[in-house]
Structure 1
Amino acid sequence: MKKFSLFCLISSSALFVFQESVKAQAQVTSTSQVSNVEIPHVNELATVVTTSTPLLAQVLKVTGVKIDSTTTGIELVLETSTGILPEPITTTENNTLIIDIPNTVLTLSDGNEFRRENPAPGIKLVSITQNDANNIRVSITGETSVPTAQIISSDNGLILSVIPSENQPDIELTVTGNPNTATVNKTDTPLQDLPFSVQVFPQQLIQDQRALNVGEAVRNISGFALSGRGGGRNESSLVTRGFTADQFRDGFSEGNNANRVFTEVSNLERIEVLKGPTATLYGQSEPGGIVNLVTKRPLAKPYYQAEYIGGSFGFNRGNLDFTGPLDSNRNAKYRLNLAYENTDSFREGVETERFFIAPKLTFNLSSQTTLSVFGEYLEDSRPVDFGLVAVGNSVADIPISRFLGDPTRKNDVYQRRAYIFLDHNFSDNWSISSAFRTTSSDQDFSAIFGRGNALQFNNQVLPLQAQNNDLSFNTNTWQTNLVGKFNTGSIKHTALIGFEWGNERRTTVVENANAGSINIFRPVYRFSVGRFNTIRNQDEETNLFGIYLQNEIAVTDNLKLLLGGRFDTVDFDLQDNLNNIKSSTYSDAFSPRIGIVYQPSKPISLYANFSRSFVSQSGSSFDGTPFQPERGTQYEIGVKADWFSGRLSSTLAFYQITKTNVLVTDPNRPTFFIQTGEQRSRGVELDLVGEILPGWNVITSYAYTDAIITNDTIFPEGNRLANVPRNALSFWTTYTIPQGDLQGLGFGTGVFFADARSGDLNNSFTLPSYRRVDASIYYNYRNFRAALNIKNLFDTRYFESAQSRTAIFPGAPLTILGTISLQF
């Protein structure tokens, strides 16, 4: 805690000095003379004007408003006589585009409010009001959906080129600054109004850091770490707040039966993270939180991108992204994403190949109804790699490139998916969305890896086993959500009613054989594989059903409540074909969520919440008592704040999570389990993200996590949970030159730090602390982009995570990736 207190003191001091320096700059700037010039029309501007207004500038006056008709909509001009208006903050609500302009007041000759009804076909209303003492709000309401707008700053005003929904049905605004909404709450509620910690990681940051998987992206968010990687075959288990954070795709679970490979990040629009138990909306899930992966969707505006990435260890990858309308009215749209990757690795003998294709179609069946049909096909081939081993209480002193198995044996996965989305607006305030996803995959697994959990012969020899797996997976999930907004007197409600049905089937055949051993210091890659014996042949089926309700209540403009609850049932059937035994398990759970938000001022939100999670457990204790679901319970308080007119956003959270009903070994019958285990995590998290100055972006986080065992029959109480650092820090910043001869040239750098971590629940060995530094340089010129990303700049030896004493995963050494991209 002393380290955290010192961090807060240093951060607060630095923030105060920064604010004072910006104020001083603003005072100097405000004294400069500005000549009066006529505001040009959009079609008269050769390029978009980039402002360089200080963040804390003087309050400017809007002295006039003009609306001109255009061939596609309207042109709205806000006139000033005192300087460039600050950069606006853009949001949407129902069919209204809302543009808030900070440090600005209305001083119109005919009053302090502007209103124009039906200025053009498709646009119902344009209004401009004084939102508070130093901010004005521009509201543009479409007849059937949200209009789109191009926002351009000029020396003496602001120009908005507005296109109604009939001409451009998609909301395709390019907005700088911080994302202020997320789909992870299944409503369009602003993040400031949500009583829990939510972070959004956009595609631009994925590109800037050249993140190749989800784990590389979420390390920017406080409290995240990696856990066991299942032999490097698929996405690492993500850990936050000491516990697993389950992955979802567009609201669908990415559990083991649904996704068997690394997620294709080139198909993602953004990554949303909701911290803490989330069973109220997402059903059974671990208490750490969820990572919701939002897929790219078809756009009405034509866009084409071709990208090549090449670099260290024979890395080669190509991406294609095409989208646009299929008809002149833009009622039908398509998108096609393709990717191919072929690469070696810093791990000896490891070669990977994957192919991905995702065709998508969206149809506007009417002005209120949209149907989307998406498909995905993915092939992935790579060795099963369990990394290094522990000797004593630390990782063996051997090269991180050493492969302790047979890299020529591969894990091949063929995965197919289809989605159907149907969205309908009954009115401005009521809408329904229904989605169905089906997934099928086949996995052919062949590997040689460590047998048992200990070395032999003076900690030099690792016993080996050979394994062949033949697996198939099928999942079908249907979700429907009804969202309505209504008032009871002066109290506003946003109600959500939904249900989810799911069916998961899994067939597993596993064969094992003795494969001799390997000396970890002097390996000889000749394996004596014995006779294979089938150790598992089983069919599993799970049926899930959940119904949930949530009500977001705005008691006043600055006091909001959230009440929610979900009831789930889980039926699990197991057919053991080896022993001809069939067993069934039924479990149910109710998961509540309660939250409150109080906003003493518009940029500040104080919040608190209570929430629960559950994960069903199969089987029973020695006396035949069925296991109850594992439960997680969280208490959290925090504060969210926007700084510098919304350019910078921060979230500070304090929490405690207790996980109960954990299965532990029965002390009287070691071959059975009992549900007396308990684990607890408490900590502090700070996230800061935004654009400090035009072109200068930053995302940084810090987490203090105290995660321990509080009750167990095998491991001592007080043992730390595996792979959870007590202190973790991330910092990433980029700067792009906004104008001049070097316009488009940018630089990025970042550091990622993690404390020493326990490698297992027994705390028998430790993963050392590390500091990893990354850097990048890039250049954007019209439709061309070139970038160079340097990962682990100082070639630090570090370890990302551990699964056991014989499965420790090293981080990659110095890696250089070059990118060339063309966009049209």
Structure 2
Amino acid sequence: MKYKRLVPSLLLTSVIMMLITSPSRSEEISSIGVPQSTPSTKTPANSTPQPRLVTKAQFVKPITQIRRLSEIERPTTSAETLLVQSSTQQTPPSSEVVQVTGVKANPTNKGVEVILQTSKGQQLQITNRSAGNNFIADIPNAQLRLPSGEAFTFRSDKPIAGVTQITVTNFDAKTIQVTVIGETSVPTVELFDSPNEGLIFSVANTAPSAQQQQPQTQQPQVERPESETQSSQPSASGDQPIELVVTGEQDGYRVPDASTATRTDTPLRDIPASIQVVPRQVLEDQRALRLQDAVQNVSGVTQGGNYGGTNSGSYIIRGFEQDGNFRNGFRDSDFFTLSDIANLERVEVLKGPASVLFGQAQPGGIINLVTKQPLSEPYYAADFTAGSYGFYRPTLDFSGPLNSEKTLLYRLNVAYQNSGSFRDFVDTERIFIAPSLTWKIGTNTTLNFDFEYLNNDTQFDRGIVAVGNRPAPIPISRFLGVPGANDGNSTVYRAGYRLEHRLSENWQLRNALSITINKVNNFVAEPDSLIDDRFFNRYYENSKFETDTYSLQTEVIGKFATGSIIHQPLLGIELNRSEGPLIFRDVILPPLDIFSPVNNSVVPTDPLEASFNVKTRADKLGIYLQDQITLVDNLKLLVGGRFDFTEQKNDDLLASTSTSQSDQAFSPRIGIVYQPVQPISLYASYSSSFLPVIGNSADNSVFEPQRGTQYEVGVKADLSNRLSATLAAYQITKTNVLTTDLDNPSFSIQVGEQRSRGVELDIAGEILTGWKIIATYAYTDAEITEDNQLPVGNLLNNVAKNTASLWTTYEIQRGNLQGLGFGLGLYYVGDRQGDLANSFVLPSYFRTDAALYYKRNNWKAAINIKNLLDEKYYETSQTRNVIYPGAPLTVLGTISVEF
């Protein structure tokens, strides 16, 4: 079926799904998680990481926009709440059953306030105990009742890291029971008055004054800090709630769940794939300035292209270079599209073929950038970084509510960067602005808007060249372009919305739109071909193009049970269009002596003659279905498949010709997870990918899409409550690779094959209190297995067989030096082939980074030293004429504040 015939009917289907989707009745089970496209809204680094309920709470009935306790209207009759903790039930002061008429939740930047409200004047008591991993609090002489008199139950799934579920329910005819289920241990529970400290239950009532009793401390800990005791006295209005705070594991390096692999917020231990997350805390501690700084913390990921030194480029995962990144679950244009680190909450890397949910992609994996989202509590942060080569960069991050009901939230991230470089004549200026808005339309509906603007001006830099089988023995600072003439400008606009509506307790509808407009205009003087081991031909080129990408996703997510088997299905439709012109104009320049460059070439000021002028348009349609099946508590199955239909049209404006091509593909995935004991997950999976290949062979037949298949096995282990590890082994085979047609050398034929196999280890978390670590190792054997021109056995370019990294920090927890921290980074990359012909080698390197910081109240000062030992190394290459050196010793100093 042609794509254009499918679009009207599928758009109609999408609208109908949004309007009338009504799932059949099923057994009641826990609520579904957050969508893939919904990022976590954690507190930025340098503060306690924020639990991930802020977004989830919108889908857990009856969580919605809630006023703060101080804003709740109360009768003039005042009371003081009585909380009593004991190991045995205490006699309530009244035999009358108190009616709790509402359970509300107010997400905050550190958790969520959960409020039990009454309209009676009776005294309440709390009795707590622990059972297994559960903290249980009983409130005697009370019942949950709606205003209509009906009973109800409140539940919140995975509200914060380390806490699996919170329920508030009627235990019997005279007792409300609050249960907090820990993931691996009993949660720590504190009792105090601050509304800003984590996940909060607040029992608010309007009873007459009563003697307040201070609880004892036990495990689980329930305590009232001495400094907070006086604030619990009745206010001027005679009304003061007492709050119960539940704190889960919130270490900054270990992320227990992610959404990229399944488009649902699923614990990593339940996913039959290797997925690694680099959280904001790591980016802050390392003072990351580019995406490459983030992905160096993930095994099996290295940099591919580095488009003109702009650090957009592409990344190689498990041996295969991807064609671009994803952003909040959407394809983010192509590898020419720049990103800034200021608006990133975390970076998620899914290893292996991902076409089942994301469509056309290389088989190595994808990188999904998850952006920051608005917070319901006021948050303000600013930092200023200055360092080597005239670098300086201020950033701002503001967030909070726009109205008293907290139904309208905003966030604004701003960054400005100005710097020179260790590369001669290269400097950069960047402006980045990213506002976002969240509108809580109702109890079950939320609408998010986001926008980004990025403008980047730089000297377009192609690095150095290869001589013989190594990079040329010239200073890594030497610029081989024409100073002042290598101008590069990129402007990126991003905008979109995300609508989420809860249809019922177990069914949810999502609809989202993403628009990316990328405008590039570069003037480049660079080496073209080698004359001898000293002189290179050069040309001057103007490349100008614009890529406009529009993506629309509609998904339905549910949960139901068939007997004892639990299903979590996901059904989605995705439409994507990418279009724009691509124009090249060039002229030949005099040869360049790379050992004694004289950059006095005169470049033309008049418009250059066009050598390439093509307008492209690609339309894509994907329909996908996935089911996460829990067979028993320790045995889980993941199955899914996607049909993709693509159509691409190219108009050659110079030759006045037009070509078009249509492709379709089915991409399956299946995986299983077995957990013999709670901390250990064993998994195995099969997955596939596809990528259209545009063109024709000598007999005018259309090329088939490239296909990738992967077999993977692995083990995931929670080494402690705060430290986890993933060990994976895999084999990926990529087929239908283009290679030279020996019978018609000017044409290609699809008989090529490439294979990658390897072992990867990732460890992340907290070893001891204050001692954090993120460490990786990868063995990657990626080679050509079939080809008509290149020798079989040649290694894939830019892929080292051995890579390893270690980043660790320690912060002193008490005493006069409390807040003083140290960081150490070690990064090893082995020898890499510079091209598929294996004609030159990028030598191995071992780089050392270090950090020293001090935190005091809401201030932080830090010094980050990159390449401490001044190692000479090369990050990546694109051809023999484009090799990018790594930066020498670089020092960055940062002052930051948040409140």
TM-score above 0.5, yes or no = yes
SS of match in other structure, 1:158: coil
Q: Are positions 1:73 and 2:123 aligned together?
A: no
State the shift of 1:802 in Å: 0.7
SS of match in other structure, 1:207: helix
The one-letter amino acid paired with 2:439 is F
State the shift of 1:578 in Å: 0.2
SS of match in other structure, 1:683: strand
The 8 Å contact of residues 333 and 547 in structure 2, kept in 1 or not, is answered as no
Deviations 1:251-291 (A, max 9, x none): 011232xx634311110000111100000000001111011
Q: Are positions 1:191 and 2:278 aligned together?
A: no
Choose from 330, 334, 346 the match for 1:252: 330
Aligned to 2:587: 513
C-alpha separation in 2, matches of 1:305 and 1:291: 27
Deviations 1:109-151 (A, max 9, x none): xxxxx986369xxx996225799xx9447999xxxxxx96169
The one-letter amino acid paired with 2:574 is E
C-alpha separation in 1, matches of 2:313 and 2:665: 28
Choose from 96, 104, 112 the match for 2:157: 96
State the shift of 1:157 in Å: 4.5
Choose from 682, 685, 695 the match for 2:770: 695
Q: Are positions 1:426 and 2:500 aligned together?
A: no
Aligned to 1:390: 466
Change (3 A) 1:812 1:522: same
Structure 1 residue runs of 5 or longer lacking an equivalent are 1-42, 44-60, 86-92, 103-113, 141-146, 162-166
Aligned to 2:59: none
The one-letter amino acid paired with 1:253 is R
Aligned to 2:597: 523
The 8 Å contact of residues 78 and 158 in structure 1, kept in 2 or not, is answered as no
The 8 Å contact of residues 384 and 407 in structure 1, kept in 2 or not, is answered as no
Change (3 A) 1:538 1:791: same
Change (3 A) 1:537 1:173: farther
Change (3 A) 1:128 1:469: closer
Aligned to 1:180: 256
Aligned to 1:335: 411
SS of match in other structure, 1:601: coil
C-alpha separation in 1, matches of 2:223 and 2:666: 49
The 8 Å contact of residues 773 and 806 in structure 2, kept in 1 or not, is answered as yes
Deviations 1:517-568 (A, max 9, x none): 2111111011144783211111100101000000011111111111100000
Change (3 A) 1:776 1:591: same
Choose from 789, 812, 830 the match for 1:714: 789
Change (3 A) 1:414 1:101: closer
Change (3 A) 1:677 1:101: closer
The 8 Å contact of residues 98 and 137 in structure 1, kept in 2 or not, is answered as no
State the shift of 1:78 in Å: 5.4
Q: Are positions 1:472 and 2:531 aligned together?
A: no
State the shift of 1:741 in Å: 1.4
SS of match in other structure, 1:689: strand
Choose from 542, 550, 556 the match for 2:618: 542
Q: Are positions 1:158 and 2:221 aligned together?
A: yes
The one-letter amino acid paired with 1:298 is P
Change (3 A) 1:564 1:762: same
Change (3 A) 1:160 1:176: farther
Q: Are positions 1:231 and 2:308 aligned together?
A: yes
Aligned to 2:237: none
Choose from 784, 787, 808 the match for 2:883: 808
The 8 Å contact of residues 99 and 138 in structure 1, kept in 2 or not, is answered as no
SS of match in other structure, 2:675: strand
Deviations 1:791-811 (A, max 9, x none): 000000001111111111100
The 8 Å contact of residues 188 and 220 in structure 2, kept in 1 or not, is answered as no
Aligned to 2:760: 685
Choose from 409, 412, 436 the match for 2:513: 436
SS of match in other structure, 2:325: strand
TM-score, normalized by length of structure 2?
0.76
Q: Are positions 1:449 and 2:526 aligned together?
A: yes
Deviations 1:371-413 (A, max 9, x none): 1111111111112211111111111111000011124221112
State the shift of 1:174 in Å: 7.8
Choose from 194, 200, 209 the match for 2:286: 209
The 8 Å contact of residues 773 and 792 in structure 1, kept in 2 or not, is answered as yes
Choose from 702, 710, 727 the match for 1:652: 727
The 8 Å contact of residues 307 and 336 in structure 2, kept in 1 or not, is answered as no
State the shift of 1:441 in Å: 2.8
State the shift of 1:236 in Å: 3.0
The 8 Å contact of residues 319 and 339 in structure 1, kept in 2 or not, is answered as yes
C-alpha separation in 2, matches of 1:153 and 1:355: 54
Q: Are positions 1:411 and 2:473 aligned together?
A: no
Q: Are positions 1:766 and 2:841 aligned together?
A: yes
SS of match in other structure, 2:281: helix
C-alpha separation in 2, matches of 1:588 and 1:76: 61
Of all paired residues, the percent bearing the same amino acid is 45
Aligned to 2:441: 365
Structure 2 residue runs of 5 or longer lacking an equivalent are 1-68, 70-84, 93-97, 105-112, 117-124, 136-153, 191-196, 202-214, 225-241
SS of match in other structure, 2:745: strand
State the shift of 1:667 in Å: 1.5
C-alpha separation in 1, matches of 2:797 and 2:680: 36
The 8 Å contact of residues 470 and 508 in structure 1, kept in 2 or not, is answered as yes
The 8 Å contact of residues 128 and 139 in structure 1, kept in 2 or not, is answered as no
SS of match in other structure, 2:251: coil
Change (3 A) 1:425 1:520: same
The 8 Å contact of residues 547 and 566 in structure 1, kept in 2 or not, is answered as yes
Aligned to 2:832: 757
Aligned to 2:816: 741
The one-letter amino acid paired with 2:509 is I
State the shift of 1:427 in Å: 2.0
Greater percentage in strand: 1
Deviations 1:715-762 (A, max 9, x none): 100000001000111001001111221111111001000111110001
TM-score, normalized by length of structure 1?
0.83
The one-letter amino acid paired with 1:489 is G
State the shift of 1:156 in Å: 6.0
C-alpha separation in 1, matches of 2:161 and 2:87: 17
The 8 Å contact of residues 127 and 138 in structure 1, kept in 2 or not, is answered as no
Change (3 A) 1:128 1:436: closer
The 8 Å contact of residues 129 and 138 in structure 1, kept in 2 or not, is answered as no
Change (3 A) 1:580 1:153: farther
C-alpha separation in 2, matches of 1:512 and 1:65: 85
Q: Are positions 1:402 and 2:458 aligned together?
A: no
Aligned to 1:778: 853
Q: Are positions 1:481 and 2:560 aligned together?
A: no
Change (3 A) 1:214 1:667: same
SS of match in other structure, 1:439: strand
Deviations 1:421-460 (A, max 9, x none): 10111122111111101122322111101113xx223x00
Give the alignment's Cα RMSD to 1 decimal: 3.1
SS of match in other structure, 2:313: coil
